[in-house]
Structure 1
C-alpha cells in the first residue's frame, strides 16, 4: 500500500495541511466510491462539483482529500489530510498511475487517435494482435476487453477517467495481457483533462483530422495540438521504471495533410511508419476491388507485399485496416500471418453493422454523427444503392450546435428521405434541435413531409423508415451505434439501435418462422 507522499511525487502541490505519511487504501473521484482509508480527489465538473461532496467522502472514511486551488477555500479537515493542488483534474492522472504502480510499464501500450475511425481501428488492432499470438486488452468507445473477456463500455466516455484507465491496465497485467490498445481522444489527451498521463505509450497511431469538437478545444489548431500530445508521449517513463522494450513507433496516415505535424511531435528516437491509399506511403494499399460487403487490396510494405481480403466496406475501412496492419507489422508479426489474420476481422458493434431478417432492403447501423462522418459514410454507400437511401438521425443536445444544419445539408444531398429524430437531447428542446437540422435539409432542396419528416420519438422514427422502405432501398440508422440509452434532461431510456430495428422488422412480418 503506497503512502500519500508517494502518490503525490509527480503532482504540483500548492499547500498541505496534515500528514503525508499515511497509507492510502483507495483512490476515488466520486464520493460514493470512497473506501475507508482512501483518497478523495474533488473535481469541478460541468454539472457536478466534487468539492460539494467532501463531507460525504469523509463520512465514508477518506483519509485524505485533494482539492483544486481555484475552487476550494483554505481550511483544515478534522481527521484527514488536505492537499491543495493547482488543478485537481490534471492531478488525477499522476495520482492514479502512482496508486496502481504504473501498470503501463509492464505492457506494450498502443494509442490510436484521429477524428474518425478510432473505435474501429483499436478493435481491429486488438483482434489482429490476438490472432497473431499476442494477448491484448482493449479500451474503446464501444467495448472494454481483457484477454478473452469483453464487455460494453457504458460510461459514455471513449477514454474513461484516469483511475478507470489505470485500473483496467492493472487488470490486464494481472490477467496475462502483454499489450494494451487504447482509443485516445482529444479530450483525454488535452492538458486540461490529462486522462492518459502515465500510460507511457509505445506505439502512437494517427488516423485523420477534420473540424470536430471545436466547442471544447476552441480552435482547430488547439484540437490538432491536443491530439498530437499522444506522439509526444512516446518516451520513457519519468518514474524510473523500465518498460518491456524501448522501441517506440509513430505511425501516421500519409493521405491526411496533417500527418507530418504528428510525426514532428514524436521524439527523435521513435521509429516512423506511414500508411495510405492515395499518397506515397511505406505501407501502401492499392484497391483491386471494393463493394458493399468488403474489399480486395494489394498491399506493399517494407516487409514484403501481398493481398488483403477485407470483410469491411468502404475506402475509410481500408485505411483503418492499413493502420491496424502497420501496428501489427511494427510488432514483428510476419506480413503473411498479419494479412491472413486481418481477413478474418470484423467491425465493432454499431460500426457499419448490418441488420438482416430477410427483408428485401438493407439496413445499416452506424455511429456516424458528425458532418465529416456523414460525408464519408453516405458518399461511400450512395453509389452502391440501387433504390432509395433513407436516413434516420438526430443531433446531440448540449453539444456542437453548428454541425446540425451541416448534417441536414449533407444528408439532404445524398439521401432521398430523411427522418429527423432524437439522438440525446439532454436539456435542450428536442424539437428545436430537429428544426436546426431541418434548416440544412431545406438548403439542400428537401421539402417538409416529402423530403424529410420530423419525428422526435426515435422508436417511431425508426419504424416509419422501415415501413416506407422498398426493395433495393438502404435505411441508414445513424448516430447511436453501440450506445445503450437516449439521454433526456431528467432521465434516460434504454436503447439498442440494432435490436430495435430487428424488433421493428418482426412487427412488419420479417424474420418470423411458422409454428
Structure 2
C-alpha cells in the first residue's frame, strides 16, 4: 500500500494535511470510493466531482485531489490542490499500480481511421512471437488469453482504468501491450495516456475529425503527434517479465499520408524510424493488390523478403492495416512469415467489414462506418466489386453532428442502388426527423422515397426488408452500429448485436449456418 505522498511524486501540487496516510484505492467516482481511498475530484462535461467530495469522505475516503480552490475539502483532510485534476489522474494512477507500463513493451496506435482494426491485427501478429499480448481498443479488451467486449463506448478509458489494465497484463505474464490511442486520450488537456511509457508509436492516417474537441485541424494533428513525442519520456530500459531489458523506441508512419513528416519530426532523431505504404517509397510496401467481396490478396515487400498474403478480410483499406501490423512486428524482431500466418487465419474483425455467411447467394457485411468519409471509402471500394446491386442500411446518431446527415444520404445514394434508412442512436431526437434529414441528401442525388429509398425507424425491420430484397450477386451493407452492443433511445438503451440480427433475418429467409 502506498502513501499519499508517493502517489503525488510526479504531480505538481499544493499540499495540505498529513501526506503519509496510506491509500488503499483510487477513485474519481464517489460511488466507487471504499474506506482508505484517495478521491480525485474531476470536472467532467456534465458532472463536477468537487460536488461529491463530502460524499466521498462519508464513504471512507482519507485524502482528496482537487483543482478548484473554492471547493476545497475540510482543512483536517489530507489534500492536494493541482492545476487540473483530470491531468493529474494519470501519474497518480501509474504510481498506485506501480508503473505497469515500465514492465511492458507498449505499442501505441493512433490515426483518424483504422486504429481499432490495426490494434487488433497488431496484437494478433505479435502473438506469433510466442509471447502473451494484451490490447485495449474501441471494440475489445484482451489480457493474455482473456478477451471481452468494450462496453464503455469509450475508445480510450480513463487513466485509472488504463493503468489498472496494464497492471493486469503484467500480472498475466504479457510481454506486449497494444493500446489504441485516441487524440482525446493523447491530448495534454486530458492526459489519459500520458503515463503509458510507449516504446512504439504508429499512425495510420490523418483526416479532419473531432474539431469540436480540438478546435482546429492543426491542434488535432498536434494532439496525435503527442504519441510520438511521448517516446522520449519512456525509459530505455524496462523490467520485462521480471528481467532488465533494453527497449528500442520506434516511430512508424504511413508514407502515403501527406502529414507523415510531421509525425517523424515529433519523434525526433533519437528513435528508429520505419514506414509503410502502397504508393510511396517505404520500408514495407504492398503490390499486386487484388480485392474481392470475399477477401484480399497482395504481396508485401519487406526487409525480411517478399511475402504473398491471402487474407479473409474484405476491403483494400485493410492493406494499410496489415502493413502497419507487420511494421510493428519488424520493429520488435518478430518473424514476419509467422505473423502473416496469424493474420491469414483471421476470419474477420468484429464490426469492421465483417461478413455474415449463412449460405445466401449475396454478401452481407457489417461495418462501423458512420460518417461521410467512411461512407465514401467503403462504398466506393465495394461498388466495382459488386456484381449485382449495392444495398445499404444505415442511420445517423441523434444529438450529434446534424450537418453530416444529408451528406451521408447523398454519398449513399451516389454509390448504392437501394437505401434503407433506419435508427442508429436517436437518443432524445425524433427518429423519423433524423431519417428525413438523411433522405433529403438522397433525394438530391435522385433517389425516390418508397421506390429505392425507404424510411424504417425500427432497425430490425429495416434489416429484414433489405435482406428479403437482396438477390444473387448483391452486396448488403449494414452500417453505423458495427460492434456496438446497444441502440440509445430517450426511453433507455436496447441491447443490440448487428451480426446476430443479420443472422436471425437470414434464418427467417430459410438460410442456415453451414
- Give the TM-score range, shorter chain: over 0.9
- Give the count of matched residue pairs: 510
Correspondence list, 1:128-139, <5 A: 128-139=125-136
* TM-score (ref. length: structure 2): 0.95
Instruction: Tell me, yes or no, if the aligned pair for 2:82 and 2:88 is still in contact at 8 Å.
Output: yes
Instruction: Tell me, yes or no, if the aligned pair for 2:283 and 2:302 is still in contact at 8 Å.
Output: yes
Q: Cα offset for 1:365?
A: 0.5
Instruction: Tell me, yes or no, if the aligned pair for 2:348 and 2:355 is still in contact at 8 Å.
Output: no
Pick closer, same or farther for the CA change 1:281–1:241 going to 2, 3 Å.
Answer: closer
Corresponding position of 2:49:
50
Match of 2:91 among 89, 94, 114: 94
Corresponding position of 2:28:
29
2: distance between equivalents of 1:405 and 1:342?
A: 37
Pick closer, same or farther for the CA change 1:282–1:38 going to 2, 3 Å.
Answer: same
Q: Cα offset for 1:443?
A: 2.5
Corresponding position of 2:109:
112
TM-superposition CA deviations, 1:310-354 (whole Å, max 9, x none): 221222001100000111011112333333333223432111111
2: distance between equivalents of 1:76 and 1:138?
A: 38
Q: Cα offset for 1:444?
A: 1.9
Corresponding position of 1:10:
10
TM-superposition CA deviations, 1:209-264 (whole Å, max 9, x none): 11122222222111111111111111244799777323111011111111111111
Corresponding position of 1:400:
401
Q: Cα offset for 1:403?
A: 2.2
Instruction: Tell me, yes or no, if the aligned pair for 2:250 and 2:274 is still in contact at 8 Å.
Output: yes
2: distance between equivalents of 1:83 and 1:401?
A: 42
Corresponding position of 2:66:
67
2: distance between equivalents of 1:241 and 1:298?
A: 36
Instruction: Tell me, yes or no, if the aligned pair for 1:284 and 1:299 is still in contact at 8 Å.
Output: yes
Instruction: Tell me, yes or no, if the aligned pair for 2:375 and 2:408 is still in contact at 8 Å.
Output: yes
Q: Cα offset for 1:154?
A: 0.7
Q: Cα offset for 1:93?
A: 1.1
TM-superposition CA deviations, 1:376-424 (whole Å, max 9, x none): 1111111111111111111222333332222112111111111112211
Corresponding position of 1:326:
327
Is 1:153 matched up with 2:150? Answer: yes
Describe the SS at the equivalent of 2:23: coil
CA RMSD of aligned residues (A): 2.0
Instruction: Tell me, yes or no, if the aligned pair for 2:105 and 2:247 is still in contact at 8 Å.
Output: no
Pick closer, same or farther for the CA change 1:453–1:62 going to 2, 3 Å.
Answer: same
TM-superposition CA deviations, 1:262-302 (whole Å, max 9, x none): 11110321111110112211101102432222222222222
Corresponding position of 1:80:
77
Corresponding position of 1:213:
210
Corresponding position of 2:282:
281
Pick closer, same or farther for the CA change 1:62–1:239 going to 2, 3 Å.
Answer: farther
TM-superposition CA deviations, 1:165-219 (whole Å, max 9, x none): 1000000000100000010111111122211011010001110111122222222
Q: Cα offset for 1:461?
A: 1.7
Corresponding position of 1:355:
356
* TM-score (ref. length: structure 1): 0.94
Instruction: Tell me, yes or no, if the aligned pair for 1:17 and 1:76 is still in contact at 8 Å.
Output: no
TM-superposition CA deviations, 1:137-189 (whole Å, max 9, x none): 01011111111111111111111111111000000000100000010111111
Structure 1, 348-357 or 159-168: larger mean CA deviation: 348-357
Q: Cα offset for 1:456?
A: 1.8
Structure 1, 266-275 or 163-172: larger mean CA deviation: 266-275
Corresponding position of 2:249:
248
Q: Cα offset for 1:78?
A: 6.9
Corresponding position of 1:435:
436
2: distance between equivalents of 1:451 and 1:212?
A: 31
Instruction: Tell me, yes or no, if the aligned pair for 1:65 and 1:82 is still in contact at 8 Å.
Output: yes
1: distance between equivalents of 2:53 and 2:152?
A: 23
Pick closer, same or farther for the CA change 1:429–1:90 going to 2, 3 Å.
Answer: farther
1: distance between equivalents of 2:445 and 2:356?
A: 29
Instruction: Tell me, yes or no, if the aligned pair for 1:124 and 1:347 is still in contact at 8 Å.
Output: no
Describe the SS at the equivalent of 2:370: coil
Structure 1, 432-441 or 347-356: larger mean CA deviation: 432-441
2: distance between equivalents of 1:409 and 1:236?
A: 46
Which structure 2 residue ranges, 5 or more long, are not aligned?
none
Structure 1, 491-500 or 302-311: larger mean CA deviation: 302-311
1: distance between equivalents of 2:509 and 2:178?
A: 41
Structure 1, 321-330 or 418-427: larger mean CA deviation: 418-427
Q: Cα offset for 1:74?
A: 4.2
2: distance between equivalents of 1:499 and 1:440?
A: 30
1: distance between equivalents of 2:269 and 2:341?
A: 33
2: distance between equivalents of 1:137 and 1:84?
A: 35
